[in-house]
Structure 1
Amino acid sequence: MELKEYTLDELLPYEQPTKYIVESTKYDDSYETPVLTAGKSFILGYTDEKDGIFEKDRLPVLIFDDFTTASQFVNFPFKVKSSAMKILNVNTELVLPKYIYYRMQIIQIDHDTHKRYWIQHYSKIKISIPSIDEQAKIVEKIEEIFSQIDAGIKNLKKTKEQVEIYRQSVLVSAFKEVSDKTETIENLCESIVDCPHSTPKWSEEGRLCLRTSNFKRGYLDLSEKSYVTSEVYDERTARLMPKTGDVLYSREGSILGIACIIPKGIEPCLGQRMMLFRTGKKINNLFLMHYLNSPIVTNHVIVSKGGTGSPHINVGDIKKFRIPLISYDNQLNIVKFIDEKLSVCDQIDKTIDNALIQAEALRQSVLKKAFEGRLV
């Protein structure tokens, strides 16, 4: 196979996104034009603005996050949220858009330094590419395998949805007609602490700091851990040191309204968009966690739109959530009933989560083999 070497800026001439930046972040799904970021979230929302939309006849393009080096393939008209990206046009005389997009996904560079990477570094990376015909064959094989992976992921997610439906039915049954008497969480807990509102300064190693992405209904998923320095850790635990058995609650973002408990063996600090409840003699921590995860609460959370359009629950509203007022022994009986019903669900969820992680790792393996000429 004959290969020719090019720098990325030869293959992908860039332009600044300034004239495509959205003026208002009051998004609505009923609007027509998507607002994009090059990160994992990709579509931030939809706008009704008519000016400054990237032209359909110039598609497809790649968008590149100038700070994280993440990229996305775009084949529909769009606007963008931030100037911290580059729009990469494709030199189609040399390379197919999908080929160069897939090739970029296996480029690994250290992007911990806060700087714009395209001009200073990324655009100068040299890669070897085959003829257009060979590129087409490679893209076709990649997408054939990816379609199989996507089908598997779809089935996994469908199973996960079915498990969640069963989980919710168990929780509804457990708390149905428990007691007409209620009390606010604020009056039942010993302590309620909101997380610091600043973004943690992350480090390669150090003390464990939780993200809401670690939150699963009923447990913490620590397959991916994040760390902060001891100094940052001390700052973020100054108000209250989290401990085993404390209940955590995600109060903002895409996984809004998920409760879990800090398990034994870890001493974390809190990241963003979460709260901590420390129970005492009035309410059992597992009882509180299950109640927060039940449709009784999740169907009635007060969701509002902030300046970024991110859904969230106000801290004051969370404190006013009302909990059935029953004896501690009866709380334990309800917890036992729930745990017996949901123990299998938890194992299935963990198995599916691990399979989804492996599916993403498989994508990277496919791409790596494809560009090493080992994809049969």
Structure 2
Amino acid sequence: MNELPEGWVVKKLGEVGKIVSGGTPSTAIPEYWNGNISWITPADLSGYNSKHIESGRKSITELGLQNSSARLIPKESVLFSSRAPIGYVVIAAKEVCTNQGFKSVVPNKSVSSDYLYYFLKASKENAEKVASGTTFKEISLKSFSELEIPLPPLPIQRAIVAKIEAVFSELDKGVQLLETARQQLKVYRQSVLKWAFEGKLTNENVVDGELPEGWKWVKIEEAAKSLDNLRKPINKDERQKRQGNIPYYGANGRTGWIDDYLFDEPLILVVEDETFTARELPFSYKITGKSWVNNHAHILKPKEGLDIDFLNYQSYYYPFLPLTTGTTGRKKLTKNALMNAPIKICSLSEQQRIVAEIERRLSVCEALEASIEKSLRSAAVLRQGVLARAFSGRLAGI
């Protein structure tokens, strides 16, 4: 550890608090569950952004506590997930217990819970380095207890926490703005496609609900040919024996590689039996070159007079859901339903102008999205940099 400011000392975690593991009561005994004791697991912290926690998805009874290795830990204890995954951190807002996926610190008077919380937030990488295991990595109680923590006097700890939270608050505001912009781009992307197939990108004075002059409705089967009879599924084990450089496609894109091909031309693939409800991915995508397609995607080949990209973009967010059959979790778009679905077409030259304008606008979206992603990554790096400086005594203003 680098040289620290005067008044700081280096301690081991086991010296600044009591390290407590958790446990799980038998799930075969109902009397152990659904009590009034909060029981936290690492799964409860997946996507959890608050600093404190009061309860998880499950709770246990006093009987469950007595008949397991779970232990009550007091309010202000700091929970650190020690496996699956390593590195979630949260402060107990009240007395709680955990499963065996945590090493929790009950801090003594030398360290504040908030300071310990942020230190452990910065310690994920160090914890992973001393973890062991084959199926999944886990940091042992001994290894966790021996992690070193730089410890300034309590007033400095409180000043560091205040500075971290002030910087993080500003970062959070920036991240929120970036996330809002990213969502707005998603809405704009879909709006561009909606306007395109209402004819508004190439025609003035389009009347809502009416087709522009020269446009018409046709069934997909009138404008494209189905090649579903040529697709062929190959199970994963067989593909492992036939590894090659030919992309193997399914409903949501490439799912692997294979050593031979069924097609060697531009085609449109449309979801047959994957997620339709609350779907964010497009329903269709274009493939080119040599390819193999399984039976989870319909295959469309445009007939003369239909631009392939025009068909693809019109199918992206097509309202296929009402045309599907089956349960909510696994709906199916049959070939008959797809081929009888109505689409709009216009002259080939206008189709090509529409495609060009769509791609011009979407390319701007993609550039903005890339910039947003870069900024979000930079914010995450900056956050870790703030923590690194804080625990080496180099945080400005302290």
- TM-score normalized with structure 1 length: 0.62
Q: Distance in 2 between matches of 1:179 and 1:343?
A: 28
Instruction: Name the SS of the counterpart of 1:37 in structure 2.
Output: helix
Does 1:13 pair with 2:19?
yes
Residues 196-345 of structure 1: pairs in structure 2 closer than 5 A = 237=258, 256-259=279-282, 279-282=300-303, 286-287=309-310, 289-294=312-317, 296=319, 314=330, 316-317=332-333, 322=341, 324=343, 326=345, 329=348, 332-345=352-365
Does 1:68 pair with 2:68?
no
Change (3 A) 1:70 1:302: farther
Change (3 A) 1:138 1:49: closer
Instruction: Name the SS of the counterpart of 1:280 in structure 2.
Output: strand
Q: Distance in 1 between matches of 2:371 and 2:326?
A: 31
**Bigger shift: 357-366 or 88-97?**
88-97
Picking from 89, 94, 102, the partner of 2:118 is 102
For structure 1, the 5+ residue unaligned runs are 24-32, 199-206, 221-231, 306-311
The Cα of 1:252 is off from its aligned counterpart by 5.8
Partner of 2:241: none
Partner of 1:368: 388
Q: Distance in 2 between matches of 1:88 and 1:253?
A: 42
Partner of 2:154: 132
Change (3 A) 1:12 1:48: closer
Contact 2:78 2:106 survives alignment (8 Å): yes
Partner of 2:144: 123
The Cα of 1:73 is off from its aligned counterpart by 1.5
**Bigger shift: 362-371 or 91-100?**
91-100
**Bigger shift: 8-17 or 89-98?**
8-17
The Cα of 1:299 is off from its aligned counterpart by 10
Q: Distance in 1 between matches of 2:10 and 2:332?
A: 61
Change (3 A) 1:375 1:335: same
The Cα of 1:342 is off from its aligned counterpart by 2.6
Partner of 2:176: 154
Partner of 2:36: none
Contact 1:64 1:85 survives alignment (8 Å): yes
Q: Rg bigger for which structure?
A: 2
Residues 142-181 of structure 1: pairs in structure 2 closer than 5 A = 142-176=164-198, 180-181=217-218
Does 1:350 pair with 2:385?
no
The Cα of 1:125 is off from its aligned counterpart by 3.7
- Superposed CA RMSD: 5.6
- Report how many residues are paired: 324
Contact 1:9 1:123 survives alignment (8 Å): no
Percentage of pairs with the same residue = 17
Partner of 1:141: 163
Partner of 1:225: none
Instruction: Name the SS of the counterpart of 1:118 in structure 2.
Output: coil
Change (3 A) 1:48 1:153: closer
